[in-house]
Amino acid sequence: MSRSCVVLLPGLLCDEAVWPHQRAALAPADCFIPSYGLANDIGEMARGVLASVPAQRFSLAGHSMGGRVALEIVRLAPERVERLALLDTGIEPIAAGDAGTLERDKRMALLRIAREQGMRAMGEQWARGMVHPRRLETPVFAEILDMIERRTPEVFEAQIQALLGRPDATPVLAALRCPTLILCGRQDAWSPFERHERMHRMCPGSALVAIEESGHMSTMEQPEAVSRALLDWMRG
């Protein structure tokens, strides 16, 4: 009998360092963590993942931007996804008007810092809002900065463009029929828990899990709690 496959999708500027604890917890399955390369479109990212996953059918978990890629994968190839987990993410496109302009300006300001001062200097500013306040200046925060530093301004620019052009995934979420987990850090300031409560209401039959004492980087901040939730999701 072939082993099950779990695809773990990282978020903006993230890599496999987001997932080591969950990968270990899910060890009976083959875990696959793709790279997006220089893809600058959520659809392009999704198509790249679909082309690179070795299994025909798989369980799919996406964190942050990876959750948006996961929903696009479901839209493109629902027959390949056995179950779906959405972690600290969202479904809406960029807002119209001033709110959208503000998001664009903030992202471009961070890109300028990355180009002029380096990725770690940018991360020192950007990542402070991504974790629970008690995780600042801790080894976990240092791991996040190390991960950001492994990326380049070119990758950052491509992924910013992908997020600014993100599709509205509301219809995909509402039409889901596979077992679905919606999970979020209780103190996530980037993608608040209230957003995930709305997503849960839009997705009949989904499970909603709050990770206590965690910000946006839940898989790294509270790895055991996230791993338990993913194990329950895999067994459900």
Name residue 115's amino acid. Answer: R
Q: What angle do CA 167, 203, 67 make, to 5 degrees?
A: 45
pLDDT of residue 2: 58
- The answer to whether 153 and 116 are in contact (CB under 8 A) is no
- As a whole number of angstroms, the distance between CA 21 and CA 81 comes to 22
Taking Cα atoms as reference points, which of 87, 75, 78 lies closest to residue 9? 87
182 strand-pairing partners: 86, 208
pLDDT of residue 1: 37
pLDDT of residue 146: 98
pLDDT of residue 195: 98
Three-state DSSP state, 184:
strand
pLDDT tens per residue across all 236 residues of the chain: 358 999 999 999 999 999 999 999 999 899 999 999 999 999 999 999 999 999 999 999 999 999 999 999 999 999 999 999 999 999 999 999 999 999 999 999 999 999 999 999 999 999 999 999 999 999 999 999 999 999 999 999 999 999 999 999 999 999 999 999 999 999 999 999 999 999 999 999 999 999 999 999 999 999 999 999 999 999 97
DSSP state of 188: -
pLDDT of residue 37: 96
- The answer to whether 42 and 12 are in contact (CB under 8 A) is no
Three-state DSSP state, 40:
coil
- The answer to whether 59 and 29 are in contact (CB under 8 A) is yes
Residue 13: how many CA atoms within 13 Å on its side-chain side? 27
1-236 has which CATH code?
Answer: 3.40.50.1820
- As a whole number of angstroms, the distance between CA 231 and CA 21 comes to 12
Domain ranges of the chain: 1-236
Q: In the chain, how many H helices and how many E strands?
A: 11, 6
Taking Cα atoms as reference points, which of 148, 4, 9 lies closest to residue 71? 9
Q: Which run of H or of E encompasses 82?
A: strand 81-87
DSSP state of 197: H
Q: pTM here?
A: 0.96
